[in-house]
Amino acid sequence: MQVLPTDHPTVPTPKVGVLLINLGTPDALDYWSMRRYLGEFLSDTRVVELPKILWQLILQGPILTFRPKKSAAAYRAIWNNELDESPLRTITREQTEAIAERMSEQGIRVEFAMRYGNPSIPSMIEKMFNDGCWKILCVPLYPQYASSTTGSVVDKIGDTLKGMRWQPTIRVSPPFYDDPVYVAQLAASVRRQLAALEHEPEILVASFHGVPKEYLMKGDPYHCMCQKSARLLREALDWPEDRFRVAFQSRFGPKEWLKPYADELIEELGHQGVKRVAVVSPAFISDCVETLEEIAMGLQETFEEAGGHELIALECLNASDEGIAVLEHLVHRELQGWLSENA
């Protein structure tokens, strides 16, 4: 139940808050933690658009019986054992702390939440509001809009507000797939990492998380935004067009997804005699299981089996100088009006 700010001895001074929102992470590697996380994620009707009753029969049966073990193995390969958490949680916390430090002089409170798992969006919005953040900027950490990512975050925010008698004022930052600062900082990050390699890769692949092709046909703009992000990145890098590819990864289930599929493209490059490939992931602000395990490990294995020599998974923006510059820019841009009022 929501605890209204009036329950405090004195009503707190209104403050402005920023909530960075990432996709999500399991709390632990055991079967039930993985099952809870996957159950929440795959029960989202924005993620899987099938009749609910039919899908729940499939999900609660074979999928959630066998998939937690497989997913746990992938997470175990990249788990932050020191902190006993996923790299996504570690990195999102680092990003939050860096932005909080930069916003501290303006009295802005910065927190993070996960769309799936903990800390949840409802718990953080209610906590921030009860502590006096009556204006909250929510920043989905997805450069490109998709119904199954940004759309789902907005749904969850709305569901949260429905349960609150006294609601905060909410802003949701828009996708930033073509924002000049994002493109410039992403290019700077890629350029810095490529310069540190002993040999320049023959091919640079921009790999985006895939979605079913039918989502595109229904009007989801994700595919178009991915293509524009990739084009702007290539142009900012001044990378030759014939040495640049776009691909989509992480397909799930029997339906056709956006193509070309990353694993098939990497296999084809290996068969063509390409020896060195670098992969950048412009759909991810933070490294996660998809980049650290699926790309860095899985695609490297695929590439080697097809005759390739070296596949380099470039780091995401994370809490690097470039990554924090992007987030700080977005926050300042979206807080216009609120910042001056809070001064």
Q: What is the mean pLDDT of residues 287-299?
A: 97
Distance between CA atoms of residues 222 and 77, nearest Å: 29
What confidence score (pLDDT) does residue 254 get? 84
The answer to whether the CB of 14 falls within 8 A of the CB of 135 is yes
CATH number at 200 reads 3.40.50.1400
Mean pLDDT for all residues in the chain = 95
Based on the domain organization, do 86 and 107 belong to the same domain? yes
* 92 in any annotated domain: yes
Distance between CA atoms of residues 343 and 335, nearest Å: 12
Distance between CA atoms of residues 14 and 135, nearest Å: 8
| pLDDT tens-digit readout, 248-287 | 999 988 889 999 999 999 999 999 999 999 999 999 999 9
Based on the domain organization, do 329 and 271 belong to the same domain? no
* 319 in any annotated domain: no
Q: What angle do CA 255, 21, 92 make, to 5 degrees?
A: 105
- Domain encompassing residue 238: 180-313
Based on the domain organization, do 142 and 207 belong to the same domain? no
Distance between CA atoms of residues 207 and 278, nearest Å: 10
The answer to whether the CB of 46 falls within 8 A of the CB of 218 is no
Based on the domain organization, do 334 and 260 belong to the same domain? no
Based on the domain organization, do 24 and 170 belong to the same domain? yes
pLDDT surpassing 60 at residue 8: no
Cα distance between the two ends of the chain: 32
Output the pTM of the full model.
Answer: 0.93
Take residue 237 and report the two structure tokens written for it. 């890098």
Based on the domain organization, do 153 and 198 belong to the same domain? no
Based on the domain organization, do 92 and 112 belong to the same domain? yes
Based on the domain organization, do 35 and 157 belong to the same domain? yes
Based on the domain organization, do 298 and 281 belong to the same domain? yes
What is the residue type of 325? A
Take residue 42 and report the two structure tokens written for it. 């795959």
Based on the domain organization, do 166 and 184 belong to the same domain? no
Distance between CA atoms of residues 138 and 141, nearest Å: 9
pLDDT surpassing 60 at residue 102: yes
The string of DSSP codes covering 241-253 is GGGEEEEEE---S
| pLDDT tens-digit readout, 310-342 | 999 999 999 999 999 999 999 999 999 998 655
pLDDT surpassing 80 at residue 37: yes
CB atoms within 10 A of CB 313: 24
Of residues 12 and 198, more confidently modeled? 198
- Laid out side by side, the sheet with 169-172 consists of 109-117, 15-25, 133-140, 169-172
